[in-house]
Amino acid sequence: MKLAASQLAWAPEDEHTALGMLADYGFAGLEIAPTRFAGPTPYAHPEKAAGYAKAAQTGHGLALCSMQSIWYGQQGSIFGPERAALLDYTKAAIRFAQAGGIGNLVFGCPKNRVMPLGVVVEDALPFFKELGDYAHAHGTVLALEANPAIYNTNFINFTAEAFAFVRQANSPGLKVNLDVGTLLANAEPLSDIEGHVGMLNHVHVSEPHLAPVARRELHSQLAGLLRNENYAGFVSLEMQAQPMDVLQKTLAYMVGVFG
């Protein structure tokens, strides 16, 4: 497995220092939030993804490995009349990822996926099947993340539900984003992941509500499981922006556990 960190883990003004730290600790990947560097309408400018990817690789030896907050600022629901517009917007995000050589797009978006009364999970299958196929055709993957109920959503709250949904969608470009914060919020056992690591495209080491990452035995157990099942993707640090000393200690911890 390879190590990465989300740029949400530091303030924008600390970016250069943070990227230098990632390089110093042997991290291979950088996870991006598109509006962070490409403005409020990032997908209208795929050239910015290409330029940022080149700068990260040239300056720090980092590949852009994933995109998150892909619907930041977007309103509407996948179950509402905005569905078609959100589908088109996500396809633009996929093209943006392709321009930056980014192999993963995290689909969290809890507020945009609340199921109204009378709707069932399976109603979303055509939406995600179409996006998965589109992602595959553009050399990337949409990774569905289970979002626990603490984020006020009722669509795919548990990791086991994400595995079942992705299996049912049966698209080569739709996989699962494993979020440790979800495991913690739901008290999910690692046994729910055993035998399913092949369905993972990305892993977030996080806490509920993106609190600073704590040292946990769960991390060592997860690292062992990922190794045993030959996970070759990225394990990415995800937390709210922290001071540089906290970031440095957390990067060192990540190397010790997952490196």
Mean pLDDT over 234-241 rounds to 98
Q: Strands, DSSP E only, in the chain?
A: 2-6, 29-32, 63-67, 105-107, 142-145, 174-179, 200-205, 234-237
Q: pLDDT digit string (tens) for 189-233?
A: 999 999 999 999 999 999 999 999 999 999 999 999 999 999 999
pLDDT band with cut points at 50, 70 and 90 for residue 27? very high
Spatial separation of the C-alpha atoms in residues 34 and 93, rounded to whole Å: 9
Number of CB atoms found within 10 A of residue 158's CB: 18
Q: By three-state DSSP, how is residue 234 classified?
A: strand
DSSP string covering 171-206: -TTEEEEEEHHHHHHHT--GGGTTT-GGGEEEEEE-
pLDDT band with cut points at 50, 70 and 90 for residue 89? very high
pLDDT of residue 108: 96
pLDDT of residue 34: 96
Crossing angle of helices 15-24 and 244-258, rounded to 10°: 30
Number of CB atoms found within 10 A of residue 208's CB: 16
Strand-pair category, 105-107 with 142-145: parallel
Q: By three-state DSSP, how is residue 97 classified?
A: helix
Spatial separation of the C-alpha atoms in residues 110 and 18, rounded to whole Å: 28
pLDDT of residue 182: 99
pLDDT of residue 191: 97
pLDDT of residue 11: 98
Strand-pair category, 142-145 with 174-179: parallel
Per CATH, the homologous superfamily of domain 2-258 is: Divalent-metal-dependent TIM barrel enzymes (3.20.20.150)
pLDDT band with cut points at 50, 70 and 90 for residue 134? very high
Residue among 135, 22, 167, 121 nearest 70 (CA) = 135
pLDDT of residue 87: 98
pLDDT of residue 30: 99
Mean pLDDT estimate for the chain: 98
Mean pLDDT over 31-53 rounds to 95
Q: pLDDT digit string (tens) for 91-124?
A: 999 999 999 999 999 999 999 999 999 999 999 9
Q: Give the percent of the chain with pLDDT over 90.
A: 100
